[in-house]
Amino acid sequence: MSTRQRRLRAPEWLQLDNAGKIYPATRSQDWMAIYRLSVTLDEPVDRALLGRALQSTLKRLPTFGYRLRRGLFWFYLEQQSTQPQIQDDAANPCMPLSRGRDGHHMFRVRVHDARIAVEIFHVLADATGTMTFLLTLTAEYLRLRYGPRIPATALVLDLRDKPDPSEWEDSFPKYARQAARPRSEEAAYPLRGTPAERDYLQVVTGMVDTAALAQRARGYGVSVNTYLAAHILQALVDIARQDKSPRRARKPVKLSMPVNLRRYYPSRTLRNFSSYINMPIYQSYGEYTFEDILHQVKHYMGYETGEQLINARFSGNVHAEQSRLLRLAPLFLKSLVLRLMYALTGERYFTSVMSNLGLINLPDGMARRVKRMDFIIGGGRSNPVSIGCVSVNGHTFINFSKTIREATLEQRVFSALVRDGLHVVVESNRRMTG
Amino acid sequence: MSYCVHCGVELAVSERDCPLCGTEVVNPRCAWERPEQLPYPETVDVKDAHIDRRYARQLVAMVMAVPALIVLLVDWVDGGGLRWSPYVVGALVLIYCWVVVPLLFKLSRPYAYVAVDFISLGAYLLLIAAMTGGLNWFVQLVLPLLALCGAALSGAILALRRLEWPLLDRMALCCAILGIFLLLLEVLISLYAGVPVRLAWSIYATIPLDVIALMMLFVERNKRMKQEIRKRLFL
Ligand SMILES: [Zn+2]
């Protein structure tokens, strides 16, 4: 397909979606909201073929190739004709995009042995959108490498289809309603530690059998998500209770959990369309057993994930964006305000974040070749530990990514899983010299 | 297959000790061996240098633009013309060039800062000259003087930046540049004053400078003397 035809299919430029608007303002050379999804195949990856697959994938999912530009009032995304090179993977994932290495691209594709990883700036898409991008790319790579075409599914798009405007719509204003919930919240207990080596995001991965995990969760009468969240909250509670600063220890620990809004609305967008719920445990009010925490997570999340409450939460952001005053402010002023707001409130409302992408169902032909998937959330700006989970082919991969040396949180979580009778294999990105 | 005795987790083949608690795994049946393929490569991504200064630059420019606009407005409304406000605005621009540029811009070479400083100073003096009707004075004295100072300063920077040269050689070159600068300065002043060019005071300043420069060059090339001086003067 010629560039001209492609240009006709995809818009020349796009406004940022409602959730994406915060990221360029808070971005700096030092920090950027980046996350990473990867697929590990059963054989080393052929880079030349992957490059070709990327080219076709970008034609089908054009908005992933866009660059970020500053307008007078807002940032926007603009079509560009270049395609990123396939890069070597690095020991420290999720570093900010670099002009030199990444040009103007908002994502990078990297290869290490049999693993294909996409590291992406949150301004383009949320994890569901990027998962579609990565799996479509992988399916095309597998077709080029082994022949048969992978059948299309919800997460694997058919490259012979034309891109569709519904795939890059901003679904937030479309589904927002008039009423909004107040956004202010209680500050959360802040996790602190010794800063790790500069510019080195440490990753500790725990691998668990999905069926065994599901069985444990069922034993408690909860979902895997609730079960994992409860273990993390339990560990956070224990950490907070041992904190020597009474001022800090008084604050509730809160685990932020993203919610995929496509579950509620018939949106086909591949850009940002998720919200979040900050699950609190008030550890200073008394002792909590694991069952107490499970119970509270189950019911609090059940309550908060009601469509009405979810809607009222993101509707507030949509109203804020549409306010006349904010819209008319020049970009640099807006950026200053957003930066300040993010610095003051952004990460204060949660102690850590756990994003569970759940079970990824791969089409036949692809499942055979995929050994593993990982979801790594880049370091927070101030919160030092984030957790990304994904399950594929019978294994669940729990990635702790952190900017502090202490491994207290993941140690407690994984030990608790072991005590619960699960078999956990642990791996890290530490450099094994000598 | 090894387990951490403390945490109870199994360690992947890549892990020599437990990533959770640091406990070293001693498995008498199978000592840790570095696997052929580690989960992550050894190379480390490095971040770009800071260009976060952009926000600071915009902010400072905005903060400085406010008083500048107010001054212009007040002057205009008050007297129906621009009488004194250009001095103030010019001074603000000068401050921006002299203070904000070195602090918040990252120019590739130090000469660029020298150029910015001298051009902005020249422009400000030109403004004053134009407003007071003293263009003659500007062209005959100020402009050559600024050019001379800028050239001398650039020369000194050039000399000092040659880090591969011995220190004394660099100092000697600086002294020589200063000497030439003083000579040219006297020539300039004589020309402006309209008196015939006859070097007087600059010679007395330049000769000792040249002598010092020659001494430095000599000492640098005389190993034993350098040794001797170092011995006597060490701290
Ligand atoms: Zn251990």
**What integer pLDDT is reported at residue A108 of this predicted model?**
96
Q: How many angstroms is it from A15 CA to the middle of ligand 1? A: 48
Distance between CA atoms of residues A105 and A84, nearest Å: 7
What share of chain B has pLDDT > 70, as a percent?
96
Helices A408-419 and A224-241, interaxial angle, to 10°? 130
Does residue B71 belong to any structural domain of this protein?
A: no
Average pLDDT, chain B: 85
CA dist., res. A222 & res. A236, Å (int) = 20
Decide: residue A250, CB within 10 A, 0-12 exposed, 13-18 middle, 19+ buried: middle
Put simply, whether B213 touches A (Cβ < 8 Å) is no
pLDDT at site A99: 84
Q: Which of B4, B6, B9, B62 to mutate to test the interface with A (most CBs of A within 10 A)?
A: B9
In the reported structure, the alpha carbon of residue B171 is separated from the centroid of ligand 1 by a whole-number distance in angstroms of 60
A197 contact residues in B (CB cutoff 8 A): none
Cβ separation B44–A90 shorter than 8 A? yes
**Out of A199, A411, A427, closest to residue B47 by CB:** A199
- From the number of C-beta atoms within 10 Å of its C-beta (0-12, 13-18, 19+), residue A403 rates as buried
Q: Does B42 sit within 8 Å of A431, measured CB to CB?
A: yes
* Residue B83 within any structural domain of the chain: no
Q: Are A297 and A305 in contact (CB under 8 A)?
A: no
Q: How far apart are the C-alpha atoms of A351 and A202, rounded to whole Å?
A: 18
pLDDT at residue A7, as a whole number? 46
**Is B64 a member of any domain?**
no
Residue A4's pLDDT band (cuts 50, 70, 90): very low
Residues of B in contact with A96 (CB under 8 A): 47-48
CA of A53 to the centre of ligand 1 (A): 41
Average pLDDT over residues A127-146: 96
A39 three-state secondary structure? strand
Residues A110, B43: Cα–Cα separation, whole Å: 13
B38 touches chain A (CB under 8 A): yes
Q: Which of A343, A384, A388, A311 minimizes the C-alpha distance to A126? A: A388
Q: Does position A119 have pLDDT exceeding 60, yes or no?
A: yes
- Residue A39 Cα to ligand 1 middle (Å): 27
In the sheet with A352-359, reading across from the earlier edge strand, the strands are: A274-281, A253-260, A352-359, A385-392, A395-402, A202-209, A425-428, B10-11, B2-3
The residue ranking higher by pLDDT, B156 or B108, is B156
Sheet (strand A13-15) strand order: A13-15, A75-78, A67-70
Residue A398, pLDDT above cutoff 60:
yes
B5 CA to chain A: closest CA distance, Å? 11
Q: What is the mean pLDDT of residues A48-68?
A: 95
| Lowest mean pLDDT segment, chosen from A33-42, A129-138, B124-133 | B124-133
Cβ <8 Å between B47 and A100: no
CA atoms within 13 A on the CB side of A196: 17
State the pLDDT at residue A293: 97
From chain B, pick out residues whose CB is under 8 angstroms from the CB of A88: 41, 43
Residue B72 lies in a domain: no
B63 touches chain A (CB under 8 A): no
Q: Specify if B70 maps to a domain.
A: no
The answer to whether B51 contacts chain A (CB < 8 Å) is: yes
Region B205-213: what's the mean pLDDT?
90
Give the confidence band of B21 by pLDDT, cuts at 50, 70, 90: very high
For every residue of A359-422, DSSP letters joined together read EPPPPTTTTTTEEEEEEEEPPPSS--EEEEEEEETTEEEEEEEESBS--HHHHHHHHHHHHTT-
Rounded Cα gap, residues B75 and B69, in angstroms = 10
Q: What is the DSSP string of A153-182?
A: -SSS--TTSPP-GGGG--HHHHH--S----
Mean pLDDT, residues B4-18 taken together: 92
In order of B41, B147, B183, B185, B220, the CA distances from B179 in angstroms are 58, 16, 6, 10, 20
Amino acid letter at A408? T
From chain B, pick out residues whose CB is under 8 angstroms from the CB of A92.
44-45
DSSP letter for B109, please. Answer: S
Q: Which residue, among A19, A5, A4, has the nearest Cα to A316 in the 3D structure?
A: A19
Q: Is the model more confident about A374 or about B111?
A: A374
Q: Do A425 and B12 touch (CB under 8 A)?
A: yes
Per CB distance under 8 Å, which residues of A are interface residues toward B? Answer: 28-30, 88-93, 95-96, 98-101, 112-113, 199-200, 203-207, 332, 335-336, 339, 407, 410-411, 414-415, 418-419, 423-432
pLDDT of residue B50: 59
A253-260 and A115-121 strand pairing: unpaired
Place of tokens 């915060």: A22
Q: What is the mean pLDDT of chain A?
A: 92
Query: Which chain B residue lies closest to A31 (C-alpha atoms)?
Result: B47
Q: Does residue B19 form part of some domain?
A: yes
For A182-234, what is each residue's pLDDT tens digit?
A: 878 889 999 999 988 888 999 999 999 999 999 999 999 999 999 999 999 99
Q: Do A425 and B10 touch (CB under 8 A)?
A: yes
Local confidence band at A400 (pLDDT 50, 70, 90 cut-offs): very high
Q: List the single residue in A with minimal CA-CA distance to B15.
A: A427
Contacts of A378 (CB under 8 A, 6+ apart): A32, A33, A34, A35, A36, A93, A94, A119, A201, A386, A401
Cα separation, A349 vs A184, in Å, equals 9
For residue A139, what pLDDT band results from cuts at 50, 70 and 90?
A: very high
Looking at residues B179-202, what average pLDDT do you find?
86
For residue B235, name the pLDDT band (cuts at 50, 70, 90): low
Contact A29 B40 (CB under 8 A): no
Confidence bin at A388 (pLDDT 50/70/90): very high
B20 and A29 within 8 Å at the Cβ level: the answer is no
How many whole angstroms separate alpha carbon A231 and alpha carbon A422? 13
Report the gap between the CA of B47 and the closest CA in chain A (Å). Answer: 7
Inter-chain CB proximity B45 and A430 less than 8 Å: no
Per-residue pLDDT at A2? 46
CA of B5 to the centre of ligand 1 (A): 7
A70-79, A131-140, A254-263, A268-277: segment of lowest average pLDDT:
A70-79
SS3 A137: helix
Q: How far apart are CA A39 and CA A5, in angstroms?
A: 31
The pTM for the full model equals 0.75
Q: Residue B67 is encoded by which pair of tokens?
A: 């008083």
Q: Ligand 1 center to residue A208 CA distance, Å?
A: 16
Q: Is residue B107 part of a domain?
A: no
Identify the three-state secondary structure at position A75.
Answer: strand
What is the ipTM, given to two decimal places?
A: 0.89
Residue A258: pLDDT over 60: yes
For the four alpha carbons of A56, A58, A62 and A67, in that order, the dihedral sign comes to negative
- B66 vs A135: which has the higher pLDDT: A135
Query: Higher confidence at residue A353 or residue B130?
Result: A353
Pick from A324-328, A375-379, B8-12, B104-108: least confident:
B104-108
| Cβ–Cβ under 8 Å, residues B178 and B209 | yes
With CA atoms as reference, the chain A residue closest to B41 would be A91
Lowest mean pLDDT across A103-117, A151-165, B51-65, B80-94:
B51-65
Q: Which amino acid is at A39?
A: V
Tokens of A272: 């940002």
- The answer to whether the CB atoms of A199 and B38 lie below 8 A apart is no
Q: How far apart are CA A142 and CA A53, in angstroms?
A: 9
- DSSP H or E run through B46: none
Q: Are the C-beta atoms of residues A342 and A22 closer than 8 Å to each other?
A: yes
pLDDT digits (tens, 9 = 90+) for B44-97: 988 876 556 677 777 888 888 888 888 888 888 887 777 888 888 889 998 888
Please compute the mean of the pLDDT values over residues A102-106 and round it to a whole number. 93
Mutate: best of A41, A428, A429, partner B, most B CBs <10 A = A428
Distance from CA of B111 to the nearest CA of A (A): 25
Q: Which domains does chain A have, with CATH numbers?
A: 15-160 (3.30.559.10), 202-428 (3.30.559.30)
Query: What are A150's two structure tokens?
Result: 């992978």
Q: According to DSSP H, which parts of chain B are helical?
A: 53-79, 85-95, 101-104, 110-132, 135-137, 143-161, 167-193, 201-221, 223-233
B230 near A CB under 8 A: no
Q: DSSP letter at A114?
A: T
Residue B223 — pLDDT band, cuts 50, 70, 90?
confident
Q: Is residue B56 part of a domain?
A: no
Instruction: Find the A355 Cα to ligand 1 centroid distance in Å.
Output: 24
Residue B52: the pLDDT is: 60
In this prediction, residues A247-274 reach a mean pLDDT of 95
Instruction: State the residue range of the domain holding B17.
Output: 1-46
Q: Number of folded domains in chain B? A: 2
Residue indicated by tokens 């759940």: A358
